[in-house]
Amino acid sequence: MPSGVEPPLIPPFGTPLRTASTCFYHLRRLRQLRGHVDMETMKQLISAFICSRLDYCNAVLYVLPQSTISPLQRVQNTAARVVLGLSPRDHVRPALKELHWLPVIHLIQYKVALLMLTVHSNHCSLYPRQSVASVRSEPARQRLRSATGSVYMDGSTDQNQVWRSSFLCRRS
């Protein structure tokens, strides 16, 4: 791989667009139950079928642009409308507040912050701790001002090695 070329950022579970389309399918099915179940049951169903899909592996989306994350936000907005029985023209921000749901971008930021807190306090498994490294642990950066705080950097030393190990293809 030529130097300076970044590998494509593809989440491990597929594209967010595919996740959004699967969620919209389940929302259409759940909308049919709206007249037969109460709001609390609908909230539990939406949480099981939709919110779990939005939460799965979403820390990987942290580096992706807003245009990639916006389909997932549309799913969350539609899910809030289904739970509360709102029309498509109603504002969704008060509905998200009523349901105590963070917008997707804030949910991703929260998950990354929580992951870094567990890394910093050593309450996580070995893999996350090896994926990042403290700035003060690298000799060339120990005199920097960032070495005095809790600043972390990518723990992999050779980006080409990461590329080769992540995207190996079997030849037939």
> Are 70 and 102 within one domain?
yes
Same domain, 100 and 130: no
Question: What's the structural domain count of the chain?
Answer: 2
pLDDT, mean of residues 135-150:
67
Which of 110, 142, 157 is the C-terminal boundary of a domain?
Answer: 110
Structural domain span for residue 164: 126-172
pLDDT at 167: 39
Write out pLDDT tens, residues 43-59. 999 999 999 999 888 88
- Report if residue 139 sits inside a domain: yes
b/e burial code for range 37-75 (CB count within 10 A of at least 16 → b): eeeeebbebbeebbbebbeeebbbbeeeeeeebebbbeb
107/17: higher pLDDT: 107
pLDDT for 101 beyond 90: yes
Q: Are residues 133 and 165 in the same domain?
A: yes
Q: Is residue 92 located within the same domain as residue 26? A: yes
Q: What is the pTM of this model?
A: 0.73
In a domain, 61, yes or no: yes
